[in-house]
């Protein structure tokens, strides 16, 4: 059914100018746990959908539920107000930024950030650092989901052992050392990327 609605929107709604994601509660008589309370809408109780709406035309370009978002980020299966009140969240649950994070996550991709707990530039992470700098200097108005990562313990010693083992291998078959990345606990954060500002 969702695919049917999306195809109907795409048939006559063309994205022109600025668009944004907005919540659209749909009222239902059925008793279901999918019904949520959205106090900012005229229909305060209903099944919540996320729609991409044009600012000038007010046309809906696409419509989707929150299943792709929560399948990518299982932590948001809990109510966002509870998530934002946890110790790992540095955003007030009643701020406008909290709403933006919930809506932005619907369109983000998961990218590995080179922001490490220990600065190891000019070592194995130099290409990743360069790619991150290029993304920050890119087109305005984009966003990414990043996660803080910790380097593998004793990675220098493991790299030395790996390089020694590679001496016995022909040059055509040698491989570069790739340390294991450890995702830091409670380190997920969304970056709204702008040419001038980065808002955490």
DSSP 103-149: HHTTS--B-----BSS--TTTTTHHHHHHHHHHHTS-TT-EEEEEEE
Q: What is the pLDDT of residue 113?
A: 45
21 pLDDT more than 50: yes
Has residue 115 been placed in a domain? no
Contact 40, 96 (CB under 8 A): no
Last residue of a domain, one of 65, 87, 112: 65
Name the band, by pLDDT with cuts 50, 70 and 90, for residue 84: low
What percent of the chain is modeled with pLDDT above 90?
A: 0
Residue 18 exposed, middle or buried by CB count within 10 Å (0-12, 13-18, 19+): exposed
Q: What is the pLDDT of residue 112?
A: 45
Has residue 193 been placed in a domain? yes
Has residue 110 been placed in a domain? no
Q: What is the pLDDT of residue 175?
A: 86
Range with lowest mean pLDDT among 19-28, 37-46, 94-103, 114-123: 114-123
Last residue of a domain, one of 35, 65, 95: 65
Has residue 96 been placed in a domain? no
**Separation between Cα atoms, residue 26 and residue 23, nearest integer Å:** 10
Q: Token pair of 76, please?
A: 């948001």
- Quote the number of domains for the chain: 2
Task: Report the pLDDT averaged over residues 20-31.
Answer: 72
Has residue 132 been placed in a domain? yes
Has residue 94 been placed in a domain? no
Has residue 111 been placed in a domain? no
Last residue of a domain, one of 50, 65, 80: 65
Has residue 81 been placed in a domain? no
Q: What is the pLDDT of residue 37?
A: 73
Domain, as residue range, for 16:
2-65
Q: Token pair of 117, please?
A: 């707990």
109 pLDDT more than 60: no
């Amino acid at each position: 059914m969702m695919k049917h609605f999306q195809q109907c929107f795409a048939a006559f709604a063309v994205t022109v100018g600025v668009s944004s994601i907005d919540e659209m509660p749909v009222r239902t008589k059925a008793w279901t746990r999918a019904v949520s309370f959205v106090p900012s809408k005229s229909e305060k109780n209903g099944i919540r959908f996320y729609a991409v709406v044009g600012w000038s035309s007010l046309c809906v370009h696409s419509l989707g539920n929150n299943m792709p978002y929560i399948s990518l980020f299982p932590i948001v299966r809990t109510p966002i107000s509870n998530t934002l009140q946890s110790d790992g969240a540095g955003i007030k649950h009643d701020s406008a930024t909290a709403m933006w994070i919930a809506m932005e996550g619907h369109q983000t991709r998961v990218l590995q950030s080179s922001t490490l707990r220990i600065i190891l530039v000019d070592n194995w992470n130099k290409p990743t650092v360069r790619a991150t700098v290029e993304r920050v200097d890119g087109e305005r108005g984009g966003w990414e989901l990043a996660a803080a990562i910790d380097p593998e313990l004793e990675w220098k010693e493991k790299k030395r052992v790996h390089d020694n083992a590679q001496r016995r291998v022909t040059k055509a078959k040698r491989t570069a050392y790739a340390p294991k990345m450890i995702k830091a606990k409670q380190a997920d954060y969304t970056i709204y990327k702008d040419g001038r500002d980065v808002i955490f």
